[in-house]
């Protein structure tokens, strides 16, 4: 099993450009998440999904959109990138509804917006 | 709301020293507690977890005990190695808040030979 994979690993954008980050998992997990990691702030939840075709907002959703058209994929979109969105983005997945389940993380995407 | 507070870093220790990283939490319900580790340039990996009061999670020589009376889940290791250098995150998951994870800000550990 590859686990959770993310594409791309690195990206540099100019202000106002758009891009999509792809997350894929091969563990048949129901729940998927997008986080951003910034120095001194830990991980903050952007959006999450509790199943195919569903999405919900997390702590810091502004400026991002997501889609979960297939159970194994969770896409994060930036429509008009801003320097404040420079960060490391992590995708995670979890089997489902039990609070004892851990989350499984991808390797991250380092995004720089100039 | 739910939250996790963990010890500020960075922490620098000599090899074979004793490690403690403090973590306290606030939760609405009965959370599960986790420690994750992040090595440079990588994603987070689960280190250990505990799902109810008085449980002890352990892995790779690390231990943490779920203390409901002090709302704490401190990470300990008796003898650290250079390979333990990483960032450590305490986290909780609470079914009353939809099983969302709440992470601490992370503690950077450097072990010197």
Number of A/B CB contacts below 8 angstroms equals 53
Contact check, Cβ <8 Å, B42/A108:
yes
Among partner residues A103, A106, A108, which is closest to B101 by beta-carbon distance? Answer: A103
Condensed to tens digits (0 to 9), the pLDDT of residues B32-43 reads 999 999 998 889
| Spans in chain A with pLDDT lower than 50 | none
Closest CA to A109 of A30, A50, A24: A24
Portion of chain B with pLDDT greater than 90, in percent? 81
What pLDDT is attached to residue B2?
A: 87
Tell me which of B100, B105, B107 to substitute to probe the interface with A (most A C-beta atoms closer than 10 Å).
B100
What pLDDT is attached to residue A21?
A: 97
* Chain B nearest CA to A3, separation (Å): 12
For residue A7, the chain B residues in CB contact (below 8 A) are: none
B105 vs A: CB within 8 A: yes
CB burial readout A26-64, b (16+ within 10 A) else e: eeebbbbbbbbbeeeebbebbbbbbeeeebeebebbeeb
What pLDDT is attached to residue B30?
A: 84
Residues contacting residue A71 through CB under 8 Å, at least 6 positions apart: A28, A30, A51, A52
What pLDDT is attached to residue B98?
A: 67
What pLDDT is attached to residue A81?
A: 96
- Give the mean pLDDT of chain A: 93
Give φ, ψ of B79 to 5 degrees. Answer: -155, 100
Contact check, Cβ <8 Å, B100/A107:
no
Among partner residues B42, B94, B103, which is closest to A43 by beta-carbon distance? Answer: B103
Contact check, Cβ <8 Å, A108/B34:
no
For residue B59, pLDDT over 90 is answered with yes
Contact check, Cβ <8 Å, A94/B99:
yes
* Residue of chain A whose Cα is closest to the Cα of B93: A99
Condensed to tens digits (0 to 9), the pLDDT of residues B70-110 reads 999 999 999 999 999 999 999 999 877 666 889 999 999 99
* Residue of chain B whose Cα is closest to the Cα of A37: B105
For residue B18, pLDDT over 70 is answered with yes
Contact check, Cβ <8 Å, A102/B46:
yes
């Amino acid at each position: 099993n590859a686990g959770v994979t993310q594409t791309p690993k690195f990206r540099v954008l100019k202000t106002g450009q758009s891009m999509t980050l792809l997350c894929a998992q091969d563990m048949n997990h129901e729940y998927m998440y997008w986080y951003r990691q910034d120095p001194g702030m830990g991980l903050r939840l952007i959006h999450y999904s509790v199943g195919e075709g569903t999405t919900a907002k997390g702590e810091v959703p502004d400026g991002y959109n997501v889609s979960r058209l297939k159970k194994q994929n969770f896409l994060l979109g930036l429509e008009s990138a801003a320097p404040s969105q420079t960060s490391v983005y992590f995708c995670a997945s979890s089997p489902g509804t039990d609070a004892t389940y851990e989350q499984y993380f991808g390797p991250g995407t380092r995004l720089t917006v100039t | 709301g739910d939250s996790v507070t963990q010890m500020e870093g960075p922490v620098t220790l000599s090899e074979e020293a004793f490690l403690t990283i403090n973590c306290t939490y606030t939760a609405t319900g009965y959370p599960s507690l986790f420690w994750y580790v992040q090595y440079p340039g990588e994603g987070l990996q689960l280190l250990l977890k505990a799902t109810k009061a008085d449980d002890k999670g352990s892995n790779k020589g690390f231990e943490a005990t779920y203390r409901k009376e002090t709302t704490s889940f401190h990470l300990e290791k008796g003898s650290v190695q250079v390979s333990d250098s990483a960032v450590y995150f305490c986290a909780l998951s609470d079914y009353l808040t939809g099983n969302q994870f709440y992470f601490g800000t992370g503690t950077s550990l450097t072990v010197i030979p």
